[in-house]
Amino acid sequence: MSVRTVLFLPIATLALAACGNLSQDQRNTATGAVLGGVAGSILTGGSTAGTVGGAVIGGVIGDKVEEKKK
């Protein structure tokens, strides 16, 4: 196991545990930001600007998503 993996796992666990009390809108925003950041990083070859830009755009889109009405 690499050093990055060893450092990433506890940080990811704490970050996910902190999301337990979020509203649905907040979860959508956070999910959009994470997915946008990953997509931006992949599409720009790992550039910081692409990652941050993708996270911002993804967060905005995630904020606008509404839960399906039953």
CB 39 within 8 A of CB 56: no
CA distance 27 to 62: 8
Predicted local distance difference test score (pLDDT) of residue 65: 87
Per domain, the residue ranges of the chain are: 22-70
CB 61 within 8 A of CB 32: yes
Average pLDDT over residues 25-38: 87
For the stretch 2-20, pLDDT in tens is: 666 667 777 777 777 776 7
Name the more confident of 14 and 39.
39
Name the more confident of 22 and 64.
64
CA distance 6 to 17: 18
Name the more confident of 4 and 55.
55
CA distance 11 to 13: 5
pTM over 0.75: no
